[in-house]
């Protein structure tokens, strides 16, 4: 595990790394191996009979509500009333959200904020859905992702994203146009009144994390939230 913390009594947030292995079914890995890794992770964190809920991520702005029934949603964010959630990345920004309701029941959220999703507002959409489900106070953990000093993009692409989220504007360490997606996501969360912790590691620079820019055949690590009691 790259980072893990009990953020509320009985509630944990974590980000995995390459030691956990690839957790994605869409990267060409043996599906049986991926399934075994997911099961080993669930056992290691003590989920018991529960399973982490994953989604088919497509760089959109759909938020799915997970109640433990049905299949794997095609979405880039999920919200649940305490059901364990997972979001997979390998340079995009993984966002994990924990809310508390007046009843004391936890409201969880995860979001996959790549370049298109950040511009489309997937993170504010996840926050709005959590509030619709009863979350009165929400805190976010912005996980490891490619940093603004490394994420070089064409100037036209930079301009498109900056038009939607000005805080995304950046330059690489060698002076070319880039996008700072972690800064963009933090600004969206703060504008939505959400407290933010940032697990500030660059996926391209840290070989303990999967990076698509470093290796096009990279696996995916995950941001996780679950009830640990």
Domain ranges of the chain: 3-227
* Termini Cα distance of the chain: 19
Q: Give the integer Cα–Cα distance in Å for 63 and 204.
A: 27
Looking at the chain, list the stretches that DSSP marks H as alpha helix, in order from N- to C-terminal side: 31-44, 115-120, 122-132, 155-164, 181-191
Instruction: Assess contact for 109 and 167: CB atoms under 8 A.
Output: no
Residue ranges with strand state E in the chain: 3-8, 11-15, 63-66, 77-80, 85-89, 93-101, 106-113, 135-142, 169-171, 177-179, 195-198, 221-227
**Least confident piece of the model among 19-28, 94-103, 159-168:** 94-103
pLDDT digits (tens, 9 = 90+) for 100-131: 988 888 999 999 999 999 999 999 999 999 99
pLDDT at res. 113: 98
In the block, residue with structure tokens 């009990």:
6
Contact 113, 92 (CB under 8 A): yes
Task: Dig out the tokens for 154 from the structure.
Answer: 């064409």
Give the pLDDT of residue 68: 81
- pLDDT category of residue 70 using cuts at 50, 70 and 90: confident
pLDDT for residue 229 is more than 90: no
CATH class of 3-227: alpha beta
Q: Is the pTM of the predicted complex or chain greater than 0.75?
A: yes
What pLDDT was estimated at residue 48?
Answer: 87
Reading the block at residue 204, the tokens are 């391209």
92-102, pLDDT tens digit by residue?
999 999 999 88
Radius of gyration of the chain (CA): 17
pLDDT of residue 105: 86
Give the mean pLDDT of 21-39. Answer: 97
């Amino acid at each position: 595990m790259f980072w893990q913390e009990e953020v509320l009594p009985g509630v944990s947030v974590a980000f995995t790394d390459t030691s956990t292995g690839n957790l994605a079914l869409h990267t060409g890995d043996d599906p049986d191996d991926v399934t075994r890794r997911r099961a080993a992770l669930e056992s290691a964190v003590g989920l018991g009979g529960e399973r982490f809920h994953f989604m088919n991520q497509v760089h959109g702005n759909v938020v799915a509500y997970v109640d433990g029934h049905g299949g794997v949603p095609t979405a880039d964010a999920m919200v649940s009333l305490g059901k364990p959630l997972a979001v997979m990345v390998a340079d995009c920004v993984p966002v994990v959200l924990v809310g508390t309701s007046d009843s004391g029941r936890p409201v969880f959220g995860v979001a996959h904020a790549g370049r298109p999703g950040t511009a489309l507002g997937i993170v504010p959409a996840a926050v709005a859905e959590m509030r619709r489900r009863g979350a009165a106070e929400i805190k976010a953990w912005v996980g490891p992702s490619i940093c603004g000093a490394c994420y070089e993009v064409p100037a036209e692409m930079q301009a498109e994203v900056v038009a939607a989220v000005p805080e995304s504007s950046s330059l690489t360490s060698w002076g070319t146009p880039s996008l700072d997606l972690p800064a963009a996501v933090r600004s969206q969360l703060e504008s939505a009144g959400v407290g933010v912790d940032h697990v500030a590691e660059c996926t391209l620079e840290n070989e303990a994390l999967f990076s698509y820019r470093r290796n096009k055949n990279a696996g995916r690590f995950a941001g996780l939230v679950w009830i640990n009691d």
